Chain A
Amino acid sequence: MIHRNSLTQLAAGLRAKKFSSVELVRAYLQRIEASQPALNAFISVTAAQALEAAAAADRDLAAGRGGALAGVPIAHKDLFCTAGVRTTCGSRMLDNFVSPYDATVVAKLKAAGAVTLGKLNMDEFAMGSSNETSYYGPVRNPWNPDFVPGGSSGGSAAAVAARLVPAATATDTGGSIRQPAALCGITGVKPTYGRVSRYGMIAFASSLDQAGVLAASAQDAALMLREMAGFDPRDSTSVDTPVPDYLAALDAPLAGVKVGLIKEFFDEGLDRESERRVREALAVLERLGASLREVSLQNLPRSVPVYYVVAPAECSSNLARYDGVRFGHRCKDPRDLQDLYRRSRGEGFGAEVKRRIMTGTYVLSAGYYDAYYLKAQRVRQLIAADFKRAFGEVDVLAGPTSPTAAFRIGAKTADPITMYLNDIYTIGANLAGLPALSVPCGFVDGLPVGLQIVGPHFAEARILNVAHRYQLETDWHLKAPERFA
């Protein structure tokens, strides 16, 4: 039952030669294959390359070499470019796209010795909260296959929850790491904007996108993040500040830590049962010595409308490069240039992506720019200022990750606004560029619920510390869906 080991245990076990990387990779590949019909978590499985990399890792380990993750199997959300491997972004548009280069995150994890098993399913171009917009079909929640795993990193979350990989990369533009982490009962960390390089990460909304990690625990996430983070000269928005050892800070006691409860998150939109689980979790933090106080972030309720102006605006421009000329989907026998553009894009993009491109094009148009884009940017600054003020009073902020536990597949696809409201508690951290994570804190009707912790800029070590101390006291993060236990 090798898959019951945590990432941390696997890395240590490999180093202690309890098992080989090839053994591990074989075991996980089997689990992936067996799960695929039920969960659809993977878009591509790169078994041959993985076994080759595992053998190389074993040689390194035998020689006493290899990085912190030497031989450990992981998988990437399918928007991280992987050299020589198809990178689809969950879209028909890139169904045929084989990246000629590795994303910085991919290269860094490779350098740390991690072995990639494949590419994980996701909402198309990371636009969605349920993983139902993927061209490759919905991912199913390992806790109940009739339910969504959350999105957009639904494949990453389901794979980690079902123990198909011990950890996976993911990205978070408005909650795409934290919300699926909550819905699948795992730990998900979105670092500070600029902490992890965006180079090679296919852009959705550049000012909000941030790479992070999905893992079983805060400890595992800290190990992954330590290898992923750092300045990258190829990303002008990455920040040149040293990466602390996130593992070293995990055990610090919580005595005296001031936790702010975000008043606006405990609103009428929050499911009562979910609220109970979150309050129980906060009580655990209090028992550990943290002090709780309510703080108000008045502008935070504007997060969703602000986000749905800024993110589509950026995406309308970011996705203009998919024009059928140099890569990606090209329509058959275009009559002329306009026909090439219209049909290639019309056929290549799905409905949600088109909806956001149209929204974004509209809000940037002459005559509307000031009323929408500019105003949204101003409110965004107000929201960031609210957070800054709050962090003058408390060390971390806490609240629910998502208004409800997972919902049924198909339940919200007809109403985009209802779907968008899923991210109401997560978007704020993206707008302000703050690090935030979600840890499992119980269940409602057999489906997991997440507690969200948000920190000041570059306080990853602090929020991981709070999450880890919480996980030392609780065992929600150790629970796995029965079918995959």
Chain B
Amino acid sequence: MTGANESAWETVIGLEIHAQLATRSKIFSGASTAYGAPPNAQASLVDLGFPGVLPVLNGEAVRMAVRFGLAVGARIARHSVFARKNYFYPDLPKGYQISQYELPIVAQGSLDIVLDDGSAKRIGITRAHLEEDAGKSLHEGLGGLTGVDLNRAGTPLIEIVSEPDLRSAKEAVAYMKKVHTLVRYLEICDGNMQEGSFRCDANVSVRPKGSDKLGTRAEIKNINSFRYVEKAIQYEIARQIELIESGGKVVQETRLYDPDKGETRSMRTKEEANDYRYFPDPDLLPLAVSEEFIEEVRRGLPELPDEKAARLSAQYGLSAYDAGVLTASRELADYYEEVVRAVPREPKLAANWVMGELAAALNKESVEVGSGRMPAARLAGLLARIADQTISGKLAKEVFEAMWASGQGADAIIESKGLKQITDSGAIERAIEEVMAKNPGQLADYRAGKDKLFGFFVGQVMKATQGKANPAQLNELLKKKLPG
């Protein structure tokens, strides 16, 4: 699908993000929400929809939804209503999902994303509502039968619905990442996308550039990785444009993204869509949230990503980009600040190392920054040795690798490997004189005007000192000695 003339079209995207709330028990029952238990081991009679059972709202889920609402500057409804969304499916034990429909708990918020050119764009959040997750149908290893696992049934979710403000797959991913960062800052969702704790539906449509009428949209369901969101939307944009340009019409439908094939497929059209027959759930009273409760939640809010980035930037003189990277997760930012507290004069050096060597090493092994694999104090120990010129930046990378492999501190590695930088100018001068004596030809050429050979001498001296010569001192001494 490359023939489409994408430049003539504008894409309009809205995301519905489902974030599982990190409560210990379910939204309407006391059963555990822990992931990975044997099928149906964590399904209570309420989750199983047994005759006679009734839902009781988990107050912690409400608190978490309010936290989210306040963090996106939204209006918190003092009065919201749970409704039943009715449809038959084996993983939906009651035959209805308890959700919020007409009166959601959170409405009219927004988040800012940063575009490629560095500018910010505000994305509207129409609403965020509380609802229960469904169970899972299992198809494998059951000899053609379908199994139902209701462990997930009743897990609290907030569904975060954006305005159709997103204009490209990249923007959609940036927004989704921003929400992902935020829910983890707020400690309301573990953000684990493999386990389905954080996933989204994307509503995608295209229209001729300049048009203010929305095109017919397709909804891509249940995408659970940033990469798939980008690919699914890109595919869908190209599909719709090609379809329209070849004289066809986009039909309103639900589609599924197939990551193996890299394409979206029709699941059901609007005509086949369920009539969910929403109505207020008579088993639950309208949810009343008091002003005092809202204020209490507000007081408990942590420093949010944007605030934190602005502060890091101002406090440590970091670029907006660096501050953004370092605040991508609360753990990373905390780690960074812990490092800086130990080497307070080197915030920029700390930023470079945290975003550079450390991030690469963590990424390679897929470990979290907070895992303790490289405690902040230990990294700070290395940075202190760079700062006091015990080792050069180049050698420091070697030291870091050894620290990562052995779990030892920087000083122990430097000591055992004998990597301590040579800052004694007498010793460096002696090494320079030896190199000059060994390379008379190059010396003569240099003196005859071949300036480029300066680097050659730097390299030779470094080699002679096993890289331990202080680079600045070496430069200075070479400049003095080479001309003769």
| Chain A residues proximal to chain B, CB less than 8 Å | 79-81, 87, 89, 94, 97, 99-101, 103, 198-203, 205-207, 233-237, 313-314, 316-317, 319-321, 323, 325-328, 337, 341, 361, 364-366, 369, 373
Residues of B within 8 A of A317 (CB): 84, 86, 95-96, 277, 279
Q: Does B294 contact A (CB under 8 A)?
A: no
17 contacts between A and B (CB under 8 A): A79-B52, A202-B52, A207-B282, A234-B56, A235-B56, A236-B55, A236-B284, A316-B86, A317-B84, A317-B95, A320-B86, A321-B49, A323-B90, A326-B148, A327-B50, A369-B279, A373-B279
**Would you give the 0/1 interface string for B118-161, flagging 1 where the beta carbon is closer than 8 Å to chain A?**
00000000000000000000000000001010000000000000
Residues of A within 8 A of B90 (CB): 323, 325, 337
* Interface SS of chain A: loop
Given known A-B contacts A320-B86, A321-B49, A235 and B96 have beta carbons under 8 A apart: no
> Would you call B51 and A321 a contact (CB within 8 A)?
yes
Q: Does B88 contact A (CB under 8 A)?
A: yes
Which of A89, A97, A103, A361 sits near B277, CB closer than 8 Å? A361
> Would you call B54 and A199 a contact (CB within 8 A)?
yes
In the complex, what's the smallest C-beta–C-beta distance from B174 to chain A, in angstroms? 35
**Would you give the 0/1 interface string for B353-384, flagging 1 where the beta carbon is closer than 8 Å to chain A?**
00000000000000000000000000000000
Once bound together, how far apart are the Cα atoms of A234 and B283, in whole Å?
Answer: 11
> Would you call A321 and B55 a contact (CB within 8 A)?
no
> Would you call A94 and B279 a contact (CB within 8 A)?
no
> Would you call A365 and B275 a contact (CB within 8 A)?
yes
Residues of B within 8 A of A326 (CB): 48-50, 93, 148
> Would you call B279 and A327 a contact (CB within 8 A)?
no
> Would you call B51 and A94 a contact (CB within 8 A)?
yes
Which of A99, A202, A325 sits near B148, CB closer than 8 Å? A325
* B48, B56, B90, B282: most-surrounded residue (chain A CB, <10 A): B282
Q: Does B94 contact A (CB under 8 A)?
A: yes
B42-100 residues with Cβ-Cβ distance < 8 A to A are 45, 48-57, 84, 86, 88, 90, 93-96
Given known A-B contacts A200-B53, A236-B57, A327-B50, A320 and B96 have beta carbons under 8 A apart: yes
**Would you give the 0/1 interface string for B270-289, flagging 1 where the beta carbon is closer than 8 Å to chain A?**
00000101110011110000
* Interface SS of chain B: loop
Residues of A within 8 A of B84 (CB): 317
> Would you call A199 and B53 a contact (CB within 8 A)?
yes
| Chain B residues proximal to chain A, CB less than 8 Å | 45, 48-57, 84, 86, 88, 90, 93-96, 146, 148, 275, 277-279, 282-285
> Would you call B45 and A101 a contact (CB within 8 A)?
yes
Once bound together, how far apart are the Cα atoms of A191 and B51, in whole Å?
Answer: 22
> Would you call B95 and A323 a contact (CB within 8 A)?
yes
Given known A-B contacts A317-B95, A320-B95, A99 and B285 have beta carbons under 8 A apart: no
In the complex, what's the smallest C-beta–C-beta distance from B388 to chain A, in angstroms? 63
Which of B52, B57, B275, B285 sits near A203, CB closer than 8 Å? B52
> Would you call A100 and B50 a contact (CB within 8 A)?
yes
- List 4 A-B pairs, minimum CB-CB distance, nearest first: A320-B95, A207-B282, A364-B277, A206-B282
Residues of B within 8 A of A236 (CB): 54-57, 283-285
* B50, B84, B148: most-surrounded residue (chain A CB, <10 A): B50
Residues of B within 8 A of A201 (CB): 52
> Would you call A206 and B283 a contact (CB within 8 A)?
yes
In the complex, what's the smallest C-beta–C-beta distance from B482 to chain A, in angstroms? 85
Residues of A within 8 A of B94 (CB): 320-321
Minimal Cβ-Cβ distance residue in A for B275: A366
In the complex, what's the smallest C-beta–C-beta distance from A174 to chain B, in angstroms? 15
Once bound together, how far apart are the Cα atoms of A365 and B88, in whole Å?
Answer: 15
Once bound together, how far apart are the Cα atoms of A421 and B106, in whole Å?
Answer: 44
Once bound together, how far apart are the Cα atoms of A202 and B148, in whole Å?
Answer: 24
Residues of A within 8 A of B284 (CB): 236-237
Once bound together, how far apart are the Cα atoms of A199 and B55, in whole Å?
Answer: 9
Once bound together, how far apart are the Cα atoms of A325 and B89, in whole Å?
Answer: 10
Minimal Cβ-Cβ distance residue in A for B150: A326
* B54, B90, B95, B285: most-surrounded residue (chain A CB, <10 A): B54
Minimal Cβ-Cβ distance residue in A for B48: A326
Residues of B within 8 A of A366 (CB): 275, 277
Residues of B within 8 A of A87 (CB): 51
Once bound together, how far apart are the Cα atoms of A87 and B148, in whole Å?
Answer: 25
Residues of A within 8 A of B86 (CB): 316-317, 320, 364
Residues of A within 8 A of B95 (CB): 317, 319-321, 323
> Would you call A100 and B45 a contact (CB within 8 A)?
yes
Residues of B within 8 A of A207 (CB): 282
Residues of A within 8 A of B52 (CB): 79-81, 99, 103, 199-203
> Would you call A81 and B56 a contact (CB within 8 A)?
no
Given known A-B contacts A320-B88, A320-B94, A321-B93, A89 and B51 have beta carbons under 8 A apart: yes
Once bound together, how far apart are the Cα atoms of A366 and B95, in whole Å?
Answer: 18
Once bound together, how far apart are the Cα atoms of A205 and B279, in whole Å?
Answer: 13
Once bound together, how far apart are the Cα atoms of A87 and B45, in whole Å?
Answer: 15
In the complex, what's the smallest C-beta–C-beta distance from B159 to chain A, in angstroms? 20
Residues of A within 8 A of B56 (CB): 233-236
Minimal Cβ-Cβ distance residue in B for A197: B54
Minimal Cβ-Cβ distance residue in A for B276: A366
Once bound together, how far apart are the Cα atoms of A323 and B51, in whole Å?
Answer: 12
Once bound together, how far apart are the Cα atoms of A365 and B276, in whole Å?
Answer: 8
> Would you call B279 and A235 a contact (CB within 8 A)?
no
User: Can you name 11 extra interface pairs (CB under 8 A) apart from A326-B93, A365-B277, A373-B279?
Assistant: A103-B52, A199-B53, A202-B52, A203-B52, A237-B282, A313-B279, A317-B95, A321-B50, A321-B51, A321-B94, A341-B88
Once bound together, how far apart are the Cα atoms of A198 and B146, in whole Å?
Answer: 34
In the complex, what's the smallest C-beta–C-beta distance from A464 to chain B, in angstroms? 27
Residues of A within 8 A of B282 (CB): 205-207, 237, 314
Once bound together, how far apart are the Cα atoms of A328 and B48, in whole Å?
Answer: 13
In the complex, what's the smallest C-beta–C-beta distance from A83 to chain B, in angstroms? 11
In the complex, what's the smallest C-beta–C-beta distance from A352 to chain B, in angstroms? 18
Residues of B within 8 A of A103 (CB): 52
Once bound together, how far apart are the Cα atoms of A328 and B55, in whole Å?
Answer: 21
> Would you call B96 and A237 a contact (CB within 8 A)?
no
> Would you call A97 and B283 a contact (CB within 8 A)?
no
Residues of A within 8 A of B285 (CB): 236-237
In the complex, what's the smallest C-beta–C-beta distance from A444 to chain B, in angstroms? 37
Once bound together, how far apart are the Cα atoms of A101 and B95, in whole Å?
Answer: 21
Residues of A within 8 A of B53 (CB): 199-200
Once bound together, how far apart are the Cα atoms of A328 and B95, in whole Å?
Answer: 14
Residues of B within 8 A of A198 (CB): 54
> Would you call B275 and A235 a contact (CB within 8 A)?
no
Given known A-B contacts A320-B86, A321-B93, A234 and B275 have beta carbons under 8 A apart: no
Once bound together, how far apart are the Cα atoms of A203 and B50, in whole Å?
Answer: 11
Once bound together, how far apart are the Cα atoms of A464 and B158, in whole Å?
Answer: 47
